[in-house]
Structure 1
């Protein structure tokens, strides 16, 4: 069966989501995406530090390489990194975003290719499934006596894990997780915080935060890394379900980072999920029981947090769900890039979280 996708519409859907689209479709870009604005090895020609994403244009997926040239948007980046033509690239983005069948109106035959994944893809998916399961099973509860480093990491941020209790379906601690460099070679092992990213289709992948023995982020080029995603799964609409399944509550919160969400949970006892980053938040889909969502947005100079919060609020309104956007009650100084709700907890205490 053939497919044609209106380019303008797809670009609008992809806007502000390129960071997570590129994460899911191109593992080769993880190093650059984890260090937006910083120079890293180019995933196309190699080298040491010629490639970077533009900080102020990450919503478009724009990047540049000193050797390969300028890539105006995420489509251009994917086409160069994956050696895809535009039509195939467009289709992969549509599938990743889970856009409806109404976008299909002409015939360009990629269906047979997509329905019969190549041997390389099958092998890759099998490896991903095995490594995800292995790492998750090796990890222990945050309240375990041997998870002191993980608790210290959160304690440094004013978060009392013992007070919050075990969140074993969402967060665990791995005592010695392998760290891979840009060439996918193991360079060392570190203690690590593992967060399970879940959608309505089940577990998707893991977010890793590498730590040192003091409970601070490990001194590596990319201390936070998302693990690869199987080709049959999509990260769109997924989250780290810190409060577990929300099946009875009509009210819940949503935030970007894990530390931000836990700050809210500790201060309000509100059920809350972490969407990983601002761009992923735009695709948040609350459980059926929820009638009101509190969006605990970041306050940043780029206004990305506000744009995504407003976008999510509008999407929720279309579903008949009330939304309340809350920003940290802090003032941005000239040198301050932004505040999140963990900053509010550390500086103002629980009183900052009053609804």
Structure 2
């Protein structure tokens, strides 16, 4: 039996001392390894790619075998190859080549027998029981939720208004939901029952992978908890997924969609321009989003960050999509980032300047309808 390149690379990693050898080439990952070795468990560390945040990333408890970890903005990175692909911003195939270089550059140093021995001991990711538990929780929340447009409590409308949005909540697409009872917890303190705006995160084929939750208090304002926005733990990898608020719209010659990070930012862009929008949750997931073949034109509304990460990820996405034959434009806010803030996004632009702060508006005949008051 011929071993795959993947099998041989995993064997090479094992022969060269395991994932700690690979991760020692990356300061951010080396920090995660060091803290895991020194403190045990799964200590949280800054993002190993950008250095942002203090608790963005952690290695799985079995990282020495799997190489896997979890990033708050991306979700699970099941194995070491996924982790390296994320840190390098490359494909898994390219990640294999980078790992080979780190481990000496020669796959011929591992025998077929050793490859098979390592393959037989490789962890298989989430076990089936855990996958089914996550699927069950997602289905339970989905089945107990209602479309956000059908909320009669007024909380969804109140939340939109509190963020400076004018969309009539009754016009929201059914990809956004509302839960009247939504439990928030951090695994340490006692869970709190709140309310929530929901967004289905789906893959390129429309399969629901996880649900984004914005926790709300009884007045419809963002809940006063440590992390009022959370993704539910997904049963599978979420790279390439997005919250598809709208269907792509076809004009006279092209089919287009707009992309950004946050749901509220997407709703602001819809109001200001009429553009159909997908929310990608974070700049890392924005970079990885998959676009259907029938979409010909993609408009990326990047966040403007002091670190430059928003524009950097948008440009990386644009390069990939152009290689796929799509027409791509990127727009970044022209306003200065306010003192004391890390970034400014298109929601901030909308709140301060209204429609006048945007580079274009679509003709009404092809615009999404938001019911927004002028």
Specify the TM-score bucket, using the shorter chain as the normaliser.
0.7 to 0.9
Q: Does 1:240 align with 2:233?
A: no
Q: Do structure 1's residue 328 and structure 2's residue 333 form an aligned pair?
A: yes
Counterparts of 1:63 and 1:156, CA distance in 2: 26
2:49 to 59, 66, 72: 59
- TM-score, reference length from structure 2: 0.70
The question of 1:150 aligning with 2:156 is answered yes
Q: CA RMSD in A?
A: 3.7
CA distance in 1, matches of 2:151, 2:44: 41
Aligned to 2:270: 265
- Higher Cα radius of gyration: 2
Contact 1:164 1:266 in 2 (8 A): no
Equivalent position SS for 1:263: helix
Query: Structure 1 regions of 5+ residues with no counterpart?
Result: 23-41, 66-72
CA contact (8 A) 1:299 1:305 kept: yes
Work out whether 1:211 is the aligned partner of 2:211.
Answer: no
Q: Deviations along 1:182-238, whole A, 9 cap, x unmatched?
A: 24x7522101111111002511001111111222221122211111111xx210110
The TM-score with structure 1 as length reference comes to 0.73
1:147-199 deviation line (CA, Å, top 9, x unaligned): 4112211111232342671321x21010011122224x752210111111100
In the other structure, the counterpart of 1:315 is 320
Select 2:81's aligned residue among 94, 98, 103.
94
SS in 1 for 2:268: helix
Equivalent position of 2:200 in the other structure: 196
Whole-Å separation in 2 of the counterparts to 1:112 and 1:186: 41
How far apart, CA to CA, are the structure 1 residues paired with 2:291 and 2:39?
A: 36
Aligned partner of residue 322 in structure 2, secondary structure: helix
Mapped to 2, the partners of 1:94 and 1:226 lie a distance apart of 23
Question: For 1:141 and 1:52, how far apart are their aligned partners in 2?
Answer: 35
CA shift, 1:294, in A, is 1.1
Which whole-Å CA distance do the structure 2 matches of 1:148 and 1:244 have between them? 26
CA 1:323–1:64 in structure 2 vs 1: closer, same or farther (change >3 Å)? Answer: closer
1:246 touches 1:287 (CA, 8 Å); kept in 2?
A: no
Matches within 5 A, 1:1-355: 1=3, 2-4=7-9, 44=40, 53-54=45-46, 59-60=49-50, 77-78=58-59, 81-85=60-64, 88-89=67-68, 92-94=79-81, 99-100=92-93, 103=96, 107=115, 109=117, 111-112=119-120, 121-162=127-168, 165-168=171-174, 170-183=175-188, 187-201=191-205, 202-230=207-235, 233-244=236-247, 250-355=255-360
* Structure 2: unaligned runs, 5 residues or longer: 14-21, 33-37, 69-76, 86-90, 98-106, 361-374
Aligned to 2:372: none
Q: Is the 8 A contact 2:151 2:178 kept in 1?
A: no
